[in-house]
Chain A
Amino acid sequence: MLEIKNLQASVEEKPILKGLDLTINAGEVHAIMGPNGAGKSTLANVLAGQADYEVDGGSVSFHGEDLFELEIEERAAKGLFLSFQYPLEIPGVATMTFLKESINAQRKQRGENELSTPNFMKIVKEKAQQLNVTPEMLRRPLNVGFSGGEKKRNEILQMLLLEPSLCILDETDSGLDIDALRVVADGVNSLRSPDRAMLIITHYQRLLDYIKPDFVHILVDGKIVKSGGAELAHELERDGYKDIIASA
C-alpha cells in the first residue's frame, strides 16, 4: 500500500529525513518510535503533503501511485489520514459542520453522492458515542477550547468517520488520560482490517499494549536504524535509546 524508498526531506534547508525506507502492506500495523526531534512528525507531514517540508530525494508510492504527484486533498480522498500531534482550531465552525464538510468533500472527489443529513447524523452519533464525544462537543467550534485529550479524541472521531485506508497517528496517545487511552485504542482497533494499514508514532509502550503492532521501527536522526516485532518496543522501554542506537 505504501512504499517509501530512500526518502530525504528538509525543512528550511535543514535536512531532517536522511534516506528512509519503509514498506507497509494492507492489514499491517507499524509503530514508529524514536527520540525527540528524530523526524517522526516530519515523516507524517511529508506523507500528508504539508508544504513547509521540502522533499529532496527518494520516492513514495501510495496504492501504486506517485504520492508526490497528488494534492493534499487528493491524498486524503484516496485514503491517507493523519491524526495530528497538535490538532488545529477553527473558530466559528461547528465540529459537526466540519465533519460533514470533510466527509462530503472526500465523497465528491471520489465521485460518490453526498451523504444526506439524517444519514450523516446517524453515523456521527454512533461513532461519537463510541469515543465518548458528547453532542455538546459536536456543536462547539472545531477544537476551540477543547482540552488536549478532547482534541485527540476528536481526531480519532474524524478517522472513524472517514474510514481511511492508511491511518497515520502522530502521538495520539499523548495528552490522553488512562480511560481515554483505552477508548481511543478501542476506536483504532475497530478500524483494523485486512485492507487497512496503520502507522503509529508514539513514545510509549502503553498504547502498543492496546494496539498490537506487527512491526516496530526505531527512527533516529532521519533514518530507521532498527526494525523488529512488538517485542522491540518492550526492549526500548527497558533499555532506552542508547543501547539500541549503539548496537544499530
Chain B
Amino acid sequence: MAAIKETVNTVAEIDLDNYKYGFTTDIEVDKAPKGLNEDIVRFISAKKDEPEWMLEWRLSAFRRWKKLEEPDWSSVHYPKIDFEDLYYYAAPKKKIELDSLDDLDPDILETYKKLGIPLKEQEILAGVKGASNIAVDAVFDSVSVVTTFKAKLAESGVIFCPISEAIREHPELVKKYLASVVPVGDNFYAALNSAVFTDGSFVYIPKGVRCPMELSTYFRINEPNTGQFERTLIIAEAGSHVSYLEGCTAPMRDENQLHAAVVEIVVMDDAEVKYSTVQNWYPGNSEGVGGVYNFVTKRADCIGKNSKVSWTQVETGSAITWKYPSCILRGDGSQGEFYSIAISNGYQQIDSGTKMIHLGKNTKSRIISKGISAGHSSNCYRGIVSTQRSATNVRNFTQCDSLLIGDKCSAHTIPYIEARNSSSTFEHEATTSKINDDVMFYCRQRGLNEEEAVAVIVNGFCKEVLQNLPMEFAVEAQKLVAISLEGSVG
C-alpha cells in the first residue's frame, strides 16, 4: 500500500485554497442592521414591498422560531451560531427591477460571467452554453437580480419569477402552497427561513404543460456575515413536466456564512418534477477556516396519483452540509428518486440523505447515494424509508456507496427503515471502498497523474448519478468532481 500511503501523507496539504469561485464583488449594497428581531422581519417585508398578509405570516414564523431549538442529532459539529451577529438582508443598491439585462449593474453581470452563468439571452440563443435552452433566475445575496426568458415561458403559461414577485403578482398561488409541504414549524432552520427569507424562485407549470426549457437558478452569497435564506416553491399541475437546476457559489471568506434554504415542490396527478442541484458553496480553506454552513430543508409532496419527483444532487461545497431532500409519496402510484454525489475534502462535514415517506399504495422509491470522502472530512449518509399501514405494495431500492481517499477521513451510512405492513419490498445495498493502489498504478502507467487518475476513478464511481443530471450540466458536474478533489492526493 505504499503508493496510497504516500498519497495520504500529502492530503494534509490540501489545496482547497484554490476555490475557483472565491472572488468577491465590490458593489454598493443596501443592508439591514445586524441582528434579528421583529423590526428586521418588518424591514425585510417592507423592502420587498410585501402585502400585509405576508408580513403577518413572517412575524408568526419568527415567533415560532424563537421557541424552537437548534437540532443536534446530526453528525456535524460547529461552534454555536450567533444569530444576532448576522445580517439578514443585503441587496445591491442599484435599481433591481430591470426591464432588460442592459440595466443590470455591470459588476454583477461580470460576476455571473466569471461564474460561467449564461445570463444573456442572446448568448444562450447563440449557443454559447452548448446551445442549450435554459431560463435563468439569478439571486445575488438577498435579491433576485434577473430572470431570463420570462416572456417566452409565459407563452406556454409557465410562471418562472423571483418568489418576491410571485408574492405580489400571484398571491392566491403563494397563499395556497407556501408552507404546505414544509410547515413553518417543521424545524429550526425552516422556521428561521420562513421569517426572514429574502428571495428565491417561484415556478408554476400549468396543467398538461411540458416546460419548454430547463429552468435554473443561481445563488451567490457575496456580502460578508450575511445569511442567505432563499425560498423556492415549485408547483406542477396535473400532467405537467419540468426540469429545474440550482447552482450555488460563494466568495472565500474567513468567517462562516450561513445559508438556510427551504425548497417546496408540489406535484399533482401524473406530473413530473426533476430537481437538480450543483452545490459548490465555499468549503473553507485547508485548515477548516471559513466556509458556508448549509442547512437546507427540501421536500416534495407527490400529492397526485402517479406523480413523480426526482432529486439529483452534486454536493461539493460548504463547510457543513445538513440536507435531506425528501419525498412524501402521497398519491397512489407516485414515485420518488434521490440520486446524490456528496464529496467532502479538507475539513468539510456532510450529513445528508433523504426521506421517502410512502403514504400511497403502489408507491416506489429509489435511492442512489455516492459519498466520497478525502482529507480530514466526514461524510454521513442518513436516510429514512417509511411506509404507512395503508400503503400496500411499496417498493424501495437503496444503494449507498462510500469511497474513501486516504485514512484521515470518515464515511458513515445510517439507513432507517420503518415498515408498517408486510406487502412492501425493501432492498438495501451498501459498500465502502478505498481507492485501490493497483488501479492508481494502472492509470498512472497509462499517463494519468494522480489527480487525473483519482478524477477518472471517482467519476466512474459516480456514473449512475452523473447520468441523471440534465445533459447540459453533466459535463460541468464531472469537472466539478475533479476540481473538488484537487489536492486530495500527492
In the complex, what residues of A have CB within 8 A of residue B438's CB?
88
Measured in the bound complex, the distance between the Cα atoms of B438 and A48 in whole Å is 12
In the complex, what residues of B have CB within 8 A of residue A158's CB?
446
- Mask for A71-95, Cβ within 8 A of B = 1, else 0? 1110011000110100111111100
A130, CB-defined interface residue at 8 Å? no
| Chain B binding surface, main DSSP class | helix
A51, CB-defined interface residue at 8 Å? yes
- State whether A91 and B446 are in contact (beta carbons under 8 Å apart), knowing that A98-B456, A101-B456 are contacts in the complex: no
**Which stretch (B42-50, B330-338, B391-399, B460-468) binds chain A?**
B460-468
**Which stretch (B248-256, B418-426, B447-455) binds chain A?**
B447-455
B445, CB-defined interface residue at 8 Å? yes
Q: Do B442 and A84 touch (CB < 8 A)?
A: yes
Q: Do A51 and B441 touch (CB < 8 A)?
A: yes
Residue total for B at the interface (Cβ-Cβ under 8 A):
25
In the complex, what residues of A have CB within 8 A of residue B443's CB?
90, 102
- State whether A73 and B460 are in contact (beta carbons under 8 Å apart), knowing that A52-B2, A88-B442 are contacts in the complex: no
A19, CB-defined interface residue at 8 Å? no
Measured in the bound complex, the distance between the Cα atoms of B439 and A221 in whole Å is 28
Q: Do A87 and B442 touch (CB < 8 A)?
A: yes
Distance of A68 from chain B, by nearest CB (Å): 15
Q: Do B447 and A51 touch (CB < 8 A)?
A: no
Q: Do B459 and A76 touch (CB < 8 A)?
A: no
In the complex, what residues of B have CB within 8 A of residue A82's CB?
445
Distance of A30 from chain B, by nearest CB (Å): 20
- State whether A90 and B460 are in contact (beta carbons under 8 Å apart), knowing that A76-B444, A106-B447 are contacts in the complex: yes
Q: Do B460 and A76 touch (CB < 8 A)?
A: no
Residue of B nearest to A75 (CB): B445
Measured in the bound complex, the distance between the Cα atoms of B446 and A162 in whole Å is 8
A27, CB-defined interface residue at 8 Å? no
In the complex, what residues of A have CB within 8 A of residue B446's CB?
76, 98, 102, 105-106, 158, 162
Q: Do A105 and B457 touch (CB < 8 A)?
A: no
- State whether A51 and B452 are in contact (beta carbons under 8 Å apart), knowing that A73-B447, A76-B446, A76-B447 are contacts in the complex: no
- Mask for B470-488, Cβ within 8 A of A = 1, else 0? 0000000000000000000
Besides A52-B437, A73-B444, A158-B446, 8 other A-B contacts (C-beta < 8 A)? A48-B445, A49-B445, A51-B437, A76-B444, A88-B439, A93-B460, A102-B443, A103-B447
Using a CB–CB cutoff of 8 Å, the interface residues on chain A facing chain B are 48-52, 71-73, 76-77, 81-82, 84, 87-93, 97-98, 101-103, 105-106, 109, 141, 158, 162
22 A-B pairs with C-beta separation under 8 A: A49-B441, A52-B437, A72-B444, A73-B448, A76-B446, A76-B447, A84-B445, A88-B436, A88-B438, A90-B439, A90-B442, A90-B456, A92-B459, A92-B462, A93-B457, A93-B460, A93-B463, A97-B456, A98-B446, A98-B456, A103-B447, A105-B447
